[in-house]
Structure 1
Amino acid sequence: MQNSRLLSVTLKVLYFVFLVTVMSVCRGQETAPQITKDRQSQTDLNRALQTIPRSIPTAPPEHPGNVFLLGEDVNIKFPKEISNKAVGWRLLDDRRAVIRRGTIDDKKSKALVTIGGLGIGWYRIELLDAAGKVVNWTTAAVLARLAEPVPQDSPVCVDSATSWFAANEPVRQERFAQLAALAGVNWIRDRMSWGGFQRGPDKLPNKTTYDTAATFQARYGLKVLQVFHDTPGWALNEQLDGKRRYKRFPRNLRLLYKFCKAMAQRYKGRVLAWEPWNEANITMFGGHTIDEMCSHQKAAYLGYKAGNPNLTVCWNVYAGAGTRLHSEGVLENETWPYFETYNIHSYQKPDNYLKQFAPAREAACGRPIWITECGVRLLSKTGRPWSELSQEDELKQAKFIARSYAGSLFAGVNRHFFFILGNFPERGVQFGLLRNDQTPGPGYVALAALGRFLAGATCLGRWVPENNPSVRVYAFHSRPDGRQRDVLVIWAEKPTTWSLPTSLPTEAVYDYLGRPLVKNTPTKMDSAAVFVLLPKGAARKLPLEPPLRSSAFRGGEASPVVLQLQMHNNSTKLDQQAHTVPVGEETNLRLFAYNFSNKAVSGTITAEHVPQGCKLVPDRWEITLEPMERKHLPARFSINASGRDAASDGWIKLQGDFADAGQPALAFRLVPK
């Protein structure tokens, strides 16, 4: 998720992305660019890892969510709770200014009112009784018509969790897909429960909510990123994790491999990328150490690729962007051949992204960085199920969106998923862009503005004017309205007066909801971003600070041999990314080696590094592994009193040598109890 172009002219010629031209009614066919690992180091981090057939989205006749396209009459239907007392209506904009009024002539009509000539924007429609009192209300949106299909490399994505928020509701699932497509979204993130999906070791259901959701999303040209974060009860290890600890990884990595392989095969052409867990680094989702995350990642990657070699396999995403120890663990475990994107989350302020994402930029090892959850925490003002935001907070959410996308793309992100499309109240916080009935909040219209103006965008840089450091100017090369242009996203951290240089050839200016403004950029700036469209190349006239990007590419091939340490869950010390052991006595370690290939392999495993004052016996193993076999590596570990500090600061590193099957690595930390 953190970027900059590294493409040479020669490799541009060699690099192709083939767009599939035939699609069935229900599913797309993914195509992964054919490029070797070594050559990948020279490619563009913003490239389209997958392509899918898509057309220009159009609004369905029933206009789900009261979302219309510019030029259409806005037909607002009665809410289900309409009061018989309603005799009139009024139309308000995002500032709650009344812009239209009318009367209700026929309550039996399918539409409350038809309003023509509305421009791009978000609207609130209030129903009034004879005394002028509001008896009910709903919302609507008018979006720009996209001029071309969403570019395959567009960074604008959204988290939807459609399979959960519309579980077994195909009509509602289809609406989510339609609304995401109309907003110009490239990728959409879903959710799966492994335990809910697979009730027994050999039981896979024929049709589930995950199948219908994936089919609808692919049908509307959305690339699906799927994630799971639970283990079925039958796959848990109660000895190490206790009972009903569904958020812990399966200890037997062969079960994980088998599930991932089956999912890759089942959803080929519908789900184009997978995260093999969600936020495993925090207690809510298991509280795993980085060595556990790396072994889990390797087995999942091999499973997915065995099921579908063209699938994009992502890092099992962090809560946050990881710490220094997380990055060290990824590198010490030599995990980079086992992920194709490095995935993170953030709920911080955009100005914090540069610092927060630093560990991810290091650990990404030249792979694209995806932020697959990024939102803003705002307290709802009404009870469930609606959990509405106040007027002030729904505008805060809408204004946050442009700042968040611009800031993350500058900080090195390549795909940005806003959290979340649908109505989602959690512990009093409302994250959703849509209301409970799928009608829009202002944030949905703000997302559509990003989908239009940052279509296929790459970040050119940032300018913080010395004479007014409150101002933020982010520059992009993009395809707004189907034409290559430079786009500036400008706002101020606090209200101020400021102007762009008059020498810039401004073509058009739009506000944070995508509404056209006068050609000159407003001089009064605040937290609501404006989009300034310039001719291609014009932004280079500004003194831009270059965007950050992922660290240098590391090559290498994934070994089918995976090494794993299993420690009791009670020994976990997350703040040190370590497991605790007693001082002055031996601890028996549960070390395992797996062979995920289809032929037997033989080799050695050696303790490459053990911290001073610590002892690992034995320090070398010779083993042969049959296909899909797991073997226990007997080992004893001890820390003497003088080794306390060294153990806390160092990694125990095991290195394998299996000839053509590669050199698997395992690194972990053991600290005094």
Structure 2
Amino acid sequence: MRPLTVAVLASVLSLAALTAAPLPQSFPTHAELRKPERWRKNCSGTMTIAFDDDEQALAFAVEFPPQANHWVYPEFTLHDDETLYGADAISFELKIPPRDDYQGIAHANVVLTGEQRYQAPEPGEWHDITVKLPGAADKEREEATFFRLGMNPKHASHRFFVRNIRFHGTPQQRYIAPALATAAPGTVWLEQEEPTFTVNMPLDNLRYVLKDWLGAVLKEDAWPDNGSSPLVFPPMMPGYYLLETSHDDNVKQLAPYSFVVVIDPAQRSMTHRSFFGIDSAQSWLARRGHFACPWYDGDSFKLVSELIYRAGVPHVRERLRWAQVNPSPGEYNYSHYLYNAELLHERGILISGMFHDAPAWAGRKIKLPLDLREVYIFCKKTAEVFGERMGNWEYWNEPDILFAPEPVWDYAASMKAAYLGFKAARPDMPVTIGALCRSPRNAYNYSLFANDIAKYTDLMNLHTYERLASYPKIFAEMRLFMAEHGIADRPLWLTECGTNAEGHATADSSKKGFKKHSPEQEMIAAEFQPKAQILLMFEGVARNYFFVFPPHNERDGRKDWGIMRRDSTVKPSYAAFATITAQLLEATPLGEINTNEQTRAFLFQQPDDTQTLVFWSKSAVDSGGGVSMDDLHAADISLALPAGNYVLTDMVGGTQALNVTGNADATTLRATRFPQYLAGLRGLKADLPPHKPGTALTNNAAADDDLSVIVHLELNADDMEVGDLKSVALFHGKSARGTLTLWNLDPKPKSGRLLVSGATISGLPETINIAPMDKVLFDVVVTPELPPEGFNTSLTISGSFNGKAISRFHLPVFLFGDFLANCDEVKLNTTRPENWQRKDSGTNSTMVYDEAEQAMRFDVSWENPDVDRWFYPEHVLELPEESFAGASMLTFEVKSSQDKLENDFRLSFFVLLTGDPKDRSNVHNISYRAPLHDWETRRVSLDSTQIPLSEVTRFRLGANPVGQQLSYWIRNIRLLKPRQ
């Protein structure tokens, strides 16, 4: 064991492509081009590559999943003694075998620094093909390292043969990029292995420096044989390391190369009772070609699975698309989704499965499926196919925001059917609602549970990306909500958790238009991850899936999420994750120990009756302010420790011995912003107990409940509209027409009656009979009862079938017509440009009063297509005349136009400001339906904002356009205040 080194990390850089001196090269030979092992699988399906002895040719075969974009372009990667610089044409023989389902070839190309089209032959015979390759002497060709040859078939499976591939022209020397490489997948070595590194060419006077994660030099020396021989280190303790080099050749220097050493996962325990999980999303984010993968023959699914296994993570969250795997009734192809599930299962990792994207034939309304029988069938089939590979199932993702634009009662009905389908296949496997992601709890959440959803979920599911300082408030409020709905004993899971603490990525990525974390940002993300995990455990969270493992960019490429980089190496966050699972996988939180204002310390009980203390000093990551890596924030902690030998482990796995002799009144521990683990303790007491996680994985259904009968009501859009976070029906008049559907998702027939409260419903019979796995529909008119005061009421439909109670259908109603007749309007003075302040990310922005439209017009343009495009002009209220106090609703008219026909938006918000917007607690976003080309009225409910409206001083109104040029008009902004 070695002492800890205190220094600030200077740089953590991934492998970069650099130029090097040329080596003797020629075009790839016929002998090399006919070897199957030289070709890499590259397609939108499942592919095989072999040599066919009968045809004396390469044989390429592919199976495409449903709804995939069909393409197959196997890739030949050059060796260092090969070049395509100077090639002006390629010749080859091609044969497509006849097949009954042949539908033709949409395109066929040779890909070499661009696509060169050729005519694919009809099936059955060999054809000689020559394709000209323009740009033989171009710079791009000089740097080319591969070519591809293939086509875009129109049918679901395809096979073709290729032989006698020849390049024509005069071979020219190309530059070979000097590069470091290692055999360890993702550059992650096991602690008993000898980390070994190679250089792809000798370099004059090549030297190396090995550094630890904080930049301290561990060893420096000459590289064996100037790079002609591998550099081999003896087995190293777990940690995150940096290998730097220098040489005297007249080429650029190699970039620093990071690698990680972890405990052998075969020596770890792997319990599925653990808190720790990660959102791998690998079926979507680790597809072949999504990032570089020089291991496992380019199988990036296998690489991700292996790296998660090596980090000791027992749970992952995965995804699939319903419409992709089940394109038509009865047709299933789980393709790479099932392959990934098997890869993870082989490694003892359980999956939290989630899907969305329903096919149109499943009764898709906007995004949600409302043919509940089809929902049931798909969930049952999917749970049967994936079986014990899964740990649980989630239904949908973040239904309270854009993933489910439909109202909450639609999602509740669909969720009920999904629950029944999953349970029909796997009765003992937990099923959960789709994660709620809006905070605080709001009308959507309350309406969802008023629909008896607690009877159709075995746990609570949440997402958060908030700062650490917000955790106590977020989870106190969630615990209260769960208690109010009778599920306080249920586990609370975070199926996504992440951070924005590091800000937008600042370094240039290998993927055009994307950014990646700088070394400093990587360390900020690494610091956040274990701190967040510890704090969540103490807030009573039972499981956390950290977002996200593969490289992934959002927000026009500026947000870098992944724990992996796009070159398949791993960031310091990976080492931090491997360390926390090694230290706390089976540990139980005991509580927090009071230390001092600068530090925090948390105590855990281990299965062997020892204790582990996790401690750190506070930084801006803790407080949520502006974050930088300016210093380590070193501070001392004094603890009374009994005599003994302890092990101190740093954030990335490095260890040192700590020996305490005698009965010291106080042992001083040096804390930094990076969490450390002190193991082997006994007898310490915590000052503040943790919140206990729920453990009852069950629903709220009683023995006399019949969950299989589900009520759904679809109201006529001419008579109402949906408002207040998709959770209330705004009735234009005294009543609304609609269709009431009763589903029986049970193999037994059902007979019974409905009970209606809060309204009268005409059109329902006294007794209703429903055949097995069938539905009945009724045209109805709903007339809500008038509330004693105000305009909010609700409709509840319950009932009894075959002597058992069915779950409730609950519909919050706002009598909007009556409201308008009994409220006062306050028209805001928003027609003068000087009353608005520019708030946007545009390159150019103007605001004028448009006389023709009698409206404010805002024109914004963005020159850079990669910028995060947002537009939220701010209006300062003229108080007290424009006070929001007493207001129930804000209405406005809006229309827009963009430089793209769809005129679509990523987000659209009305934003209330109650103070300095730098403090996020003063910013309150309320979504509204995005504007269209024509004038439409939008209504924003203020009743459920849970903020003191009298403190609102300003508001912002705008959206996040997809296009780069936006014109946006607004007029008639009014507050509606009920008369007292």
Give TM-score, length-normalised by structure 2: 0.56
Cα distance in 2 between the residues matched to 1:195 and 1:644 = 47
Matched, 1:383 2:533: no
Secondary structure of 2:254 counterpart: strand
Matched, 1:579 2:733: no
Letter in 2 for 1:474: F
Letter in 2 for 1:501: L
Which structure has more RCO (C-alpha within 8 Å, separation ≥ 6)?
1
Cα distance in 2 between the residues matched to 1:172 and 1:294 = 37
Match of 2:399 among 257, 280, 285: 280
Task: Determine the structure 1 residue equivalent to 2:586.
Answer: 456
Task: Determine the structure 2 residue equivalent to 1:546.
Answer: 690
8 Å CA contact retained: 1:160, 1:190: yes
8 Å CA contact retained: 1:462, 1:473: yes
8 Å CA contact retained: 2:362, 2:375: no
How far 1:106 moved relative to its partner?
Answer: 5.8
Task: Determine the structure 2 residue equivalent to 1:670.
Answer: 813
Cα distance in 2 between the residues matched to 1:91 and 1:455 = 30
Residues 479-500 of structure 1, C-alpha deviations (whole Å, 9 max, x = no match): 5xxx443222222324363424
Cα distance in 1 between the residues matched to 2:477 and 2:517 = 34
How far 1:554 moved relative to its partner?
Answer: 7.0
Matched, 1:370 2:518: no
Match of 2:231 among 113, 118, 124: 113
Matched, 1:529 2:675: yes
Q: Which has the higher helix share?
A: 1
Task: Determine the structure 1 residue equivalent to 2:103.
Answer: none
Matched, 1:628 2:767: no
After TM superposition, the structure 1 = structure 2 runs for residues 138-153 of structure 1, keeping only pairs within 5 Å, are 138-145=257-264, 147-153=267-273
8 Å CA contact retained: 1:453, 1:478: no
Cα distance in 1 between the residues matched to 2:714 and 2:580 = 45
Match of 2:379 among 260, 274, 285: 260
Match of 1:70 among 183, 186, 191: 191
Matched, 1:232 2:351: no
Task: Determine the structure 1 residue equivalent to 2:323.
Answer: 195
Cα distance in 2 between the residues matched to 1:117 and 1:512 = 20
How far 1:433 moved relative to its partner?
Answer: 0.9
Match of 2:278 among 138, 155, 158: 158
Cα distance in 1 between the residues matched to 2:305 and 2:205 = 33
Match of 1:658 among 801, 823, 827: 801
Secondary structure of 2:797 counterpart: strand
Query: Which protein is bigger by CA-based radius of gyration?
Result: 2
Q: Which has the higher strand share?
A: 2
Residues 112-150 of structure 1, C-alpha deviations (whole Å, 9 max, x = no match): 521225322112333434279633343210113454421
Cα distance in 1 between the residues matched to 2:236 and 2:427 = 48
Task: Determine the structure 1 residue equivalent to 2:31.
Answer: none
Secondary structure of 2:565 counterpart: coil
Match of 1:323 among 425, 441, 444: 441
Cα distance in 1 between the residues matched to 2:356 and 2:211 = 42
Cα distance in 2 between the residues matched to 1:365 and 1:261 = 28
In structure 2, the CA distance between the partners of 1:186 and 1:252, relative to structure 1 (3 Å rule), is: same
Cα distance in 1 between the residues matched to 2:604 and 2:258 = 32
In structure 2, the CA distance between the partners of 1:477 and 1:564, relative to structure 1 (3 Å rule), is: farther
Task: Determine the structure 2 residue equivalent to 1:341.
Answer: 459
Task: Determine the structure 2 residue equivalent to 1:90.
Answer: 209
8 Å CA contact retained: 1:593, 1:632: yes
Task: Determine the structure 2 residue equivalent to 1:3.
Answer: none
Secondary structure of 2:790 counterpart: helix
Q: How many pairs are equivalent? A: 586
Cα distance in 2 between the residues matched to 1:256 and 1:107 = 63
How far 1:77 moved relative to its partner?
Answer: 4.5
In structure 2, the CA distance between the partners of 1:264 and 1:322, relative to structure 1 (3 Å rule), is: farther
Residues 353-383 of structure 1, C-alpha deviations (whole Å, 9 max, x = no match): 2321345433344221111111122422223
In structure 2, the CA distance between the partners of 1:619 and 1:236, relative to structure 1 (3 Å rule), is: closer
Cα distance in 2 between the residues matched to 1:292 and 1:95 = 52
Secondary structure of 1:281 counterpart: coil
544-553 or 330-339: bigger deviation: 544-553
Secondary structure of 2:767 counterpart: strand
Matched, 1:497 2:642: no
Matched, 1:223 2:367: no
Secondary structure of 1:302 counterpart: helix
Cα distance in 2 between the residues matched to 1:64 and 1:568 = 57
In structure 2, the CA distance between the partners of 1:442 and 1:107, relative to structure 1 (3 Å rule), is: same
Letter in 2 for 1:323: R
Letter in 1 for 2:723: K
Letter in 1 for 2:690: P
How far 1:472 moved relative to its partner?
Answer: 2.3
Letter in 1 for 2:491: P
8 Å CA contact retained: 2:764, 2:778: no
Cα distance in 1 between the residues matched to 2:238 and 2:248 = 31
Secondary structure of 1:645 counterpart: coil
8 Å CA contact retained: 1:344, 1:360: no
8 Å CA contact retained: 1:85, 1:130: yes
How far 1:617 moved relative to its partner?
Answer: 4.3
Cα distance in 1 between the residues matched to 2:800 and 2:785 = 30
Residues 489-543 of structure 1, C-alpha deviations (whole Å, 9 max, x = no match): 222324363424214567322221122245277644343111122445x34x231
Cα distance in 2 between the residues matched to 1:568 and 1:272 = 40
In structure 2, the CA distance between the partners of 1:83 and 1:107, relative to structure 1 (3 Å rule), is: closer
After TM superposition, the structure 1 = structure 2 runs for residues 114-133 of structure 1, keeping only pairs within 5 Å, are 114-130=232-248
Cα distance in 2 between the residues matched to 1:641 and 1:604 = 24
Task: Determine the structure 2 residue equivalent to 1:592.
Answer: 741
Matched, 1:214 2:341: yes
Secondary structure of 1:589 counterpart: strand
How far 1:211 moved relative to its partner?
Answer: 1.2
Cα distance in 2 between the residues matched to 1:472 and 1:621 = 64
In structure 2, the CA distance between the partners of 1:434 and 1:554, relative to structure 1 (3 Å rule), is: closer
Cα distance in 2 between the residues matched to 1:402 and 1:616 = 54
Secondary structure of 1:594 counterpart: strand
In structure 2, the CA distance between the partners of 1:313 and 1:84, relative to structure 1 (3 Å rule), is: farther
Matched, 1:173 2:307: no
Cα distance in 2 between the residues matched to 1:196 and 1:84 = 50
Residues 409-443 of structure 1, C-alpha deviations (whole Å, 9 max, x = no match): 11121111111111111121111111123211100
Task: Determine the structure 2 residue equivalent to 1:425.
Answer: 553
How far 1:210 moved relative to its partner?
Answer: 0.4
Cα distance in 2 between the residues matched to 1:278 and 1:185 = 22
8 Å CA contact retained: 1:86, 1:127: no
How far 1:100 moved relative to its partner?
Answer: 3.0
In structure 2, the CA distance between the partners of 1:635 and 1:568, relative to structure 1 (3 Å rule), is: closer
8 Å CA contact retained: 2:206, 2:245: yes
In structure 2, the CA distance between the partners of 1:228 and 1:322, relative to structure 1 (3 Å rule), is: farther
Match of 1:439 among 563, 569, 572: 569
After TM superposition, the structure 1 = structure 2 runs for residues 289-308 of structure 1, keeping only pairs within 5 Å, are 289-308=407-426
Cα distance in 2 between the residues matched to 1:126 and 1:622 = 80
8 Å CA contact retained: 2:601, 2:615: yes
Cα distance in 2 between the residues matched to 1:69 and 1:443 = 17
How far 1:253 moved relative to its partner?
Answer: 1.5
Residues 144-187 of structure 1, C-alpha deviations (whole Å, 9 max, x = no match): 34544212311111110111123368822122111111111111
8 Å CA contact retained: 1:155, 1:454: no
8 Å CA contact retained: 2:204, 2:226: no
How far 1:300 moved relative to its partner?
Answer: 0.5
In structure 2, the CA distance between the partners of 1:179 and 1:655, relative to structure 1 (3 Å rule), is: same
Residues 589-634 of structure 1, C-alpha deviations (whole Å, 9 max, x = no match): 33321111110011122123x2xxx655468853111111122244
Task: Determine the structure 2 residue equivalent to 1:512.
Answer: 651
Name stretches of at least 5 consecutive residues in structure 2 with no aligned partner: 1-181, 290-297, 620-632, 661-666, 817-980
Cα distance in 2 between the residues matched to 1:470 and 1:620 = 69
